[in-house]
Amino acid sequence: MIEKLRFFRKYLPLIATIGLFILMFALTSVAFPAFFSLQVFFNLLNDNMFVLISAIGMTFVIISGGIDLSVASVIALTAMVSAWLVEWLNVDPFLTMGLVLLMGTVLGAGMGSLIQYLKIPPFVATLVGMFMARGLCFVISTEYIVIEHPIYRAIANYRIYLGDGFIKPDVVIAFVALPIAIFLLHYTRFGRTVYAIGGDEQSALLMGLPVGRTKILIYTLNGFCSALAGVAYSFYKLSGHGLYAYGRELEVIASVVMGGTLLTGGVGYVLGTLFGVLIQGTIPVIIMFQGTLSSWWTKIVVGLITLFFIVMQRALGATNSRR
Amino acid sequence: MNLLKELRERAGNSKLTWPLVALLTIMLFNLFYRPEFFSIEVKEGHLFGSLIDILNRGAPLMLLSLGMTLVIATGGIDLSVGPVVAIAGATAAYLIGHGTHGQDITNTPLPLVILAALLIATAGGLWNGLLVSRVGLQPIIATLILMTAGRGIAQLITEGQILTVYYSPYHYIGLGHLLALPFTVFVVAAVFLLFWFLTRRTALGLFIESIGVNDSASFYSGISEKNVKLLVYTLSGFCAGIAGLIVSSEIKSADANNAGLWFELDAILAVVLGGTSLDGGRFSLAGSILGALIIQSLTTTIYSVGVPPEVIMVVKAMVIMAVILLQSKRFRQAFKPIIGAFLSLTRRGRSLLRTTRLPSGESASE
């Protein structure tokens, strides 16, 4: 009985998330028959994959009890640097992608080192990263840089047809990253250490787990994910600008929270994050189909749903009020 | 010689020394680079000049950082101030200007407009306070909700448009002058005095610091910890409301998307620069005002030197970096010989160095 209860409490947020998504999708399909099509679902994927890629990295960070506010800025910086390298400096596109991924990884490692070695709170360290990345975008250019390179255009316009619908290459990137992340988090020593740090860092340290190395690795991984999301974003937008993805860090964090990951750390699933992203992606589509509601309702509804999930976590007694 | 020593020791003991040094450095840079920075001229009975400009333009930030100081002192954080600024401005513009296109009239009497905008902003703060104190959410997350939803609410009020305010008495709030000085200076002074009185002439300040150090211990020693938390978030919302009125009055319009953009980060930065630790506890209202002035002078200086204004974010990042590195025990320990030379100049610095000496092998959990 107790075992059952524990199981229930552990998976309730995840079940609630998947349930809510199915409910939303079903109700909307009944209300608007046109909504229930393969292409609408595929577009949901096509439009939100950079959020998912970034949210995968964020899941690791939040499970370890940290937070990263720099992700959206790193996405913008990646798009900006890609555009700058390819268009202005004529660097080979594939080399560019490698370079920007390296840049994101190094940025993440830097913030991780600040957090680990100097004991700077993750909130502050990543806030610095956020300012730095946005600022660097504007140092490169205050204007849009449009990517005209044929290889970038070819990838961005590539369509993979499945049944009646099509998906973009971004979706493939995200769905390759997803199982890798699930494997890393649930089936490796590194993943278990992430959970242990989130559960209780001091205990993890006393158990002899490599806390310092793992923490830096978590932020490094998240930096890489942000840069990968930025590469996907540069295909999506085919340009770079300093204000791209503004405010998306909240969307990423909210997706992870909706996916059943506890903000206090120690509990969470990468799969839940996928559904968190899908719920967030569905809201604007529903509002678009509904027609009379204006687009700004999206933000209000996202806020309310996030509140619902956080209060539910709180009601389950899983979070506490420590910052 | 004795006087100098005493002065040095007093300066070394004050929290305000380092922010003041930073502000003076910026001023000194201007003194050499652009002497006209300090010229103040009288035009139509009002004072004009870069210094006055800094006071005037820095007013919204100073107000926000006052509210933020109390929140941070309780160990919390308020990420929602930027959107609340937008909501307050949108409310005011909506009440004044709905259907009065281009005319110098108002639909609602001005006192009522101001009252309504402040009430809505204060209600936003109250909402944050309830989530933190009654529901028990982490402050970052509780205020994140209003940060996300707040822009949507502001857009709801303005119906997604930029509402222009043509009613000229409203412009006085952000652009008017009183006794040759900008009106906003008096608003900031009034709020500062109110906060100073509340925290330094009543026990509230002590309660806030006590909660910031340890909230459960404060609860067990009889402080109504929940109500104090509720109050500081409400006050922060109130400050954001005044800032929203000033911002929308200054630009004579309400822009739901861009009003108060990045304000929450600037306010947090101002508080940290002013010497209030993000861990909570001791706080300094005057320090936060100085912090806000540092940010505003930095911005004005960067503009006037001709560096592209967008670069300011990189500069800000470096400034925060420097400040948090100096605040970090580990960093001070690692670079003790270098920093020690500077810090040992003052008594406070020396005492800092003493507390920094950790036994080897111990993990410093702050």
- Identify the CATH number of the domain in which residue B11 sits: 1.10.3470
Contact B145 A310 (CB under 8 A): yes
Question: Cα–Cα distance between B168 and B252 in angstroms, integer?
Answer: 9
Q: Is the domain of B284 the same as that of B333?
A: no
From chain B residues 128-157, the ones with a CB under 8 A of any chain A CB are 131-132, 135-141, 144-153, 155-156
Q: Is residue B70 part of a domain?
A: yes
Q: A249: which chain B residues are within 8 Å (Cβ-Cβ)?
A: none
From the CA atom positions of chain A, what is the Rg in Å? 20
- Rounded CA-CA distance A283/A80 in Å is 28
Among the partner-chain residues A119, A138, A242, the one whose CB lies closest to the CB of B364 is: A119
pLDDT in tens, B51-83: 788 888 889 999 999 999 999 999 888 888 989
Segment (H or E) for A30: helix A2-31
| B60 within some domain | yes
pLDDT at residue A68 is higher than 60 = yes
Q: Is residue B170 part of a domain?
A: yes
pLDDT band at B120 (very low <50, low <70, confident <90, very high): very high
Burial class (CB within 10 angstroms; exposed 0-12, middle 13-18, buried 19+) of B104: exposed
In a domain, B210, yes or no: yes
Contact A296 B316 (CB under 8 A): no
Q: Which amino acid is at A50?
A: F
Q: What confidence score (pLDDT) does residue A4 get?
A: 67
The answer to whether the beta carbons of residues B28 and B34 sit under 8 Å apart is no
Residues B216 and B117 in one domain: yes
Q: Do residue B151 and residue A119 have CB atoms under 8 angstroms apart? A: no
Cα A249 to Cα A235: distance, rounded to the nearest angstrom: 19
Terminus-to-terminus CA distance in chain B, angstroms? 39
* DSSP secondary structure letter of residue B358: P
* Inter-chain CB proximity A117 and B330 less than 8 Å: yes
What are the φ/ψ torsions at residue B48 (nearest 5 degrees)? -130, 150
pTM over 0.90: no
Q: Which tens digits make up the pLDDT trace of B166-222?
A: 777 777 777 777 777 788 889 999 999 999 998 888 888 888 888 888 888 888 888
Between these two residues, A267 and B66, which has the higher pLDDT value? B66
Residue of A nearest to B257 (CA): A296
Least Cα separation, residue A222 to chain B (angstroms): 20
* Residue in chain B nearest A130 by alpha carbon: B317
What's the domain range around B324?
A: 313-353
pLDDT in tens, B149-159: 888 888 888 87
Interface of A with B in 239-258 (CB under 8 A): 242, 247, 250-251, 253-254, 257
CATH of A2-315, one of 3.30.420, 1.20.58, 1.10.3470, 1.20.140: 1.10.3470
The pLDDT, as a whole number, for residue A21 is 87
Residue-wise pLDDT tens digits, A182-231: 999 989 999 999 999 988 888 898 988 999 999 999 999 999 999 999 99
Q: Are residues B149 and B218 in the same domain?
A: yes
Smallest CA-to-CA distance from A299 within B198, B346, B145 is with B145
Closest Cβ opposite residue A128 in set B215, B312, B320: B320
Q: Are residues B205 and B145 in the same domain?
A: yes
Better-scored residue on pLDDT, B363 or A7: A7
Query: Residue B334 to residues A33, A117, B339: CA-CA distances in angstroms?
Result: 65, 10, 9
In a domain, B48, yes or no: yes
Q: How far apart are alpha carbons B60 and B293 in whole angstroms?
A: 11
For residue A47, the Cα-to-chain-centroid distance in whole angstroms is 13
The answer to whether the Cβ–Cβ distance between A307 and B145 falls below 8 Å is: yes
Burial A115-153 (b: 16+ CB within 10 A, else e): bbebbbbbbbbbbbbbbbbbbbbbebbeeebebebeebe
Q: Residue by residue, what is the 3-state secondary structure of A173-193? A: HHHHHHHHHHHHHHHCHHHHH
Domains: count for chain B: 2
Give the number of beta-carbon pairs within 8 Å between A and B.
Answer: 140
Residue B362 domain-assigned (yes or no) = no
Looking at chain A, which residue has its C-alpha nearest residue B332?
Answer: A118
Q: Report the pLDDT value the prediction gives residue B75, as an integer from 0 to 100.
A: 85
**CB–CB of B141 and A263 under 8 A?**
yes
Tokens of B288: 């936060």
Q: Beta strands of A61-183 (E only): which ranges?
A: 145-146, 160-162, 165-167
Question: What ipTM was estimated for this complex?
Answer: 0.73
Q: Are residues B200 and B322 in the same domain?
A: no
